Amino acid sequence: MQDFSKLYIDGAWVAPESSETIEVVNASTEQVMGSVPAGTAGDVDKAVAAAKAAFEGWAQTSPQDRAKYVQALSEGIGARNQEIAETITGEVGMPIFLSQLIQAGLPQAVSGSYPAIAEEYVWEEEIGNSLVVKEPVGVVGAITPWNYPLHQIVAKVAPALVAGCTVVLKPSEVAPLNAFLLAEIIDGIGLPAGVFNLVSGTGPVVGEAIASHPDVDMVSFTGSTRAGTRVAELGAPTVKRVALELGGKSANILLPDLDGEELEKAARAAVGSAYLNSGQTCTAFTRLLVPADKHDQIVDILVDEVNKTYTIGDPATGAGFLGPVISDVQRDRVRGFIQQGIDEGATLAVGGPEQPEDLPTGYYVKPTVFAGVRNDMTIAQEEIFGPVLSVIPYDDVDDAVAIANDTVYGLSGGVWGADKEGAKAVARRVRTGQLEVNGGSFNPLAPFGGYKRSGNGRELGKFGLEEFLQTKSLQL
């Protein structure tokens, strides 16, 4: 059991205003694995006051000195990789071997990238008779999700600290334990009091208090589009900066020139692109767009790949490639979408809404593939956040691009083609913030963020740093 009874405010572990707690449930055992305080608006007031008081001194510290703390943070995450991975495997359900690489490894890499970025960044430049300088935006409220909980925290906290901002963090109440491990690391590196503060709690209480607080200069939010619009609404009266990383319904286009081994490689990779973290990924390529005359051939490959590779099992032992989804609510939601796909006439190629026979306990969902999906079906339009892949046939490349763009989202996507230049040309036509061409690997230095209702702003690399900076001109 990991029970945390205090919040981290102004450089110390302090008692919350309320004695209420939030229980954290292990996704595979359905047993309580820990608890955290249910923070209040009063706790947020204290944390914001601490961050505001610490801001001027922290902002005047050099970027290079601020980056040294972030480097120490990266090293601290690395030293506790196994503990962090085990905690997030319990909270979220990702298999332990993937949690070590992704849930713990990626935050270490992202935070470790910022010292070099800070060193290379142009913090000021002369333009004519003006000196243009970059300054921190101020007190930042960071509100983060549960699917990649520590990564999403670090993607905000690390650049915000390097920029010279102070931070009040509200982690997801569904997977908050890892945030307390991070606070322990931060407490150990000697960061000045008030620069980082942690208040756990629910969105309607703690999240709304942060988003509406008059002394919070910026809110960086990752989560659902519905919640993101609420954050923007609450931030509007104080005209604070609001950065939103929201939902997605990303398309993965297999172009007509693919054939033979190239087609098979692209089709098999498409399953992994949809199923990572049991599909609980905002960038998941959940719509697979395929040439109509190759639809059945591709579906056969997908079914074979699911049956061969995407076994489900206890994530703590790495018994399967897929673990459970995070909660009973999410499991029931995903199963409801699967049933809706069946009811709307899509062909169930593999999977289904039933509990796996050999796993009666845990929030497991069968990896599911639907064939013959129309883009106006619910399963092709709404973010499911589970291991569900919809195969949509198209007539020609123009039709494929039109289908890919026929969504309110624009976060990510992929294009596969035998001619890489042709694939790049198609990728340029898809209105999303990030695309993989022929399976190009994730780059933690490249900008991440969305078009349309997938949000605004960018995270990671120098682009993530710039989100937390203001631009000032001094006329000389």
| Tens digits of residue pLDDT in 372-399 | 999 999 999 999 999 999 999 999 999 9
Residue 330 resides in a domain: yes
CB atoms closer than 10 angstroms to residue 192:
14
Q: Are 124 and 469 in contact (CB under 8 A)?
A: no
Residue 136 resides in a domain: yes
Contact residues for 460 (Cβ-Cβ < 8 A; gap 6+):
110, 155, 444, 445, 446, 447, 448
Tokens of 106: 């990626």
Claim to verify: residue 284 and residue 392 sit in the same structural domain: yes
Residue 150 resides in a domain: yes
- Encode 130-160: b = buried (16+ Cβ within 10 Å), e = exposed: eeeebebbbbbbbbbbbbbbbbbbbbbbbbb
Claim to verify: residue 231 and residue 112 sit in the same structural domain: yes
Q: Is 165 an active-site residue? A: no
Q: Which residues pair with 132 in a beta bridge?
A: 125, 473
Claim to verify: residue 26 and residue 171 sit in the same structural domain: yes
Owner of token pair 């150990």: 188
User: Active site residue: 282, 305, 383, 459, which one?
Assistant: 282
Residue 194 belongs to domain spanning: 2-246+453-475
Task: Count up the domains in the chain and report the number.
Answer: 2
CATH number for the domain spanning 183: value is 3.40.605.10
Contact residues for 307 (Cβ-Cβ < 8 A; gap 6+):
350
- Encode 62-83: b = buried (16+ Cβ within 10 Å), e = exposed: ebeebbbbbbbbbebbbebbee
Claim to verify: residue 189 and residue 256 sit in the same structural domain: no
Could you tell me the CA-to-CA distances from 284 to 67, 130, 323, 447 in Å, in that order?
Answer: 32, 45, 16, 17
pLDDT along the chain (476 residues), means of 10: 95 97 97 98 98 98 98 98 98 96 98 98 98 98 98 98 98 98 98 98 98 98 96 98 98 98 98 97 98 98 97 92 95 98 98 94 97 98 98 98 98 98 98 98 96 97 98 98
Claim to verify: residue 278 and residue 310 sit in the same structural domain: yes
Model pLDDT, residue 318 = 86
User: Taking CA 201 as the corner, what is the angle to CA 234 and CA 92, rounded to the nearest 5 degrees?
Assistant: 110
Distance, CA of 284 to CA of 106 (rounded, Å): 17
Distance, CA of 306 to CA of 383 (rounded, Å): 21
CATH number for the domain spanning 431: value is 3.40.309.10
Q: Is 245 an active-site residue? A: yes
Residue 170 resides in a domain: yes
Distance, CA of 114 to CA of 228 (rounded, Å): 27
Pairing state between β 124-127 and 130-136:
antiparallel
Claim to verify: residue 282 and residue 225 sit in the same structural domain: no
Claim to verify: residue 290 and residue 428 sit in the same structural domain: yes
Could you tell me the CA-to-CA distances from 20 to 10, 35, 54, 475 in Å, in that order?
Answer: 21, 10, 29, 53
Claim to verify: residue 234 and residue 269 sit in the same structural domain: no
Residue 85 resides in a domain: yes
Owner of token pair 């905690």: 87
User: Active site residue: 91, 173, 245, 459, which one?
Assistant: 245
Claim to verify: residue 201 and residue 315 sit in the same structural domain: no
Largest CA distance in the chain: 74
